[in-house]
Chains A and B, each alone.
Chain A
């Protein structure tokens, strides 16, 4: 049985840990709110951009622009979006396992996947398993900006056009709710031309300045950037949500532990008191009978 002093020391240490998890939870809650706001504010732009895209692509064939070219897929670029920091429950591991499964599958089929890591966790995971990583981006995951997305997109677009990649997918945690994050694989290149659903509602063709083809050249890279930006924002919100949930659980685990340790402490103290009393009584009796 541990001594009173040992138990007291453990209680103090668990209490300190709980203070940390509690404040991490509150910090994550604040960051989650900010990330959710950022995601919400980005929606009108994304919606409008898709609107223009559909208008421009109506009746356009796949060879109208290199970013629309569907080639037989041999080389897939995987943009894996994780967090830089841990302590966020199963946030990274579920996603990384999924990616690894897909990679193995592609390698078995004699395809040539390439890996790009956004976030330390993706980089470390695949480096430890000796996959080669073609590029990494650290320090953007928790609060991504559209400039970060532009930089990632530029690299992807360049390789896609050069033929180094036949498709580019981004893998990220989708923010479903504060409690639920879901790994998601989304193809960002080549862009697909939406199929008209018989809704030829364009009565009067709008004026395009510059021409439709030139416009595509300006617009399509933006669309790719925006899709990646969206993935980064979702992932950031999901990360903070996951960390908040994990820290919430850790805090309540610590409470439970403190409770059971306190019980143990009281029992031990009572036992010590009883023992002391017995000794006094025993001593007195010995004196009386002497």
Chain B
């Protein structure tokens, strides 16, 4: 765990230094989106890597957070902080509704159920026009305001997001390395064995699922205030798949790996714009190649390569 703290401090230092050095709002915006992806991915990594469950509907939780925050502030004039808390409530209730029945089943039924859930939520975003603004989106979301301070610039959001990310990561690391986390890992390997050790596996899985949904909802709320405009296009099935892809490309087995995946897959499209219209082809190829040659993800794969190199 000490090593983890050290890594966390290094990451925090690096992010803060970046924030102070950088003067370009474009980079801040790219990093802001990256950090929000990172938040979702931390939760998803706990769910996938530790509880061995896949969710194909996390964009829906992200969207529920964003839309609840957006609607309550833009249409009902609630303060952003109160709306954010309400959004957490909505996300958790939705996660409970889908998680309780789905997690009782064996196999990958959570993946199937969340897939369907994601599509239903997307349809609701699109069709509940009087509330959500429909396919053309929800306008008029105010910027975030906390204790009288209004976040206006990308740089201010950046420091806020970094803070939220570090705290979430700290909590997630704690969880992963606690007896609870070890129970989860055991769950990943053998559900029956974990049950035999006296754990209520159903509850373990449900707690992690709720946690990951809450993190996605939180990221969504923050996104709504940062972008001040949301539309259903940002919360599609494709986005859910993108989150899962980030976790797997980085490495299912660790939180750091998942974060690395978020970094790589968020930055790659920005870098690839150099290739103009060909960027999709290159993106697809890179994804396939990484997975063929580093099937356990970038984090572990690169680590192994590094170790090998050191030995020779």
* Genuine A/B complex: no
Give B residues with C-beta under 8 Å from A. none
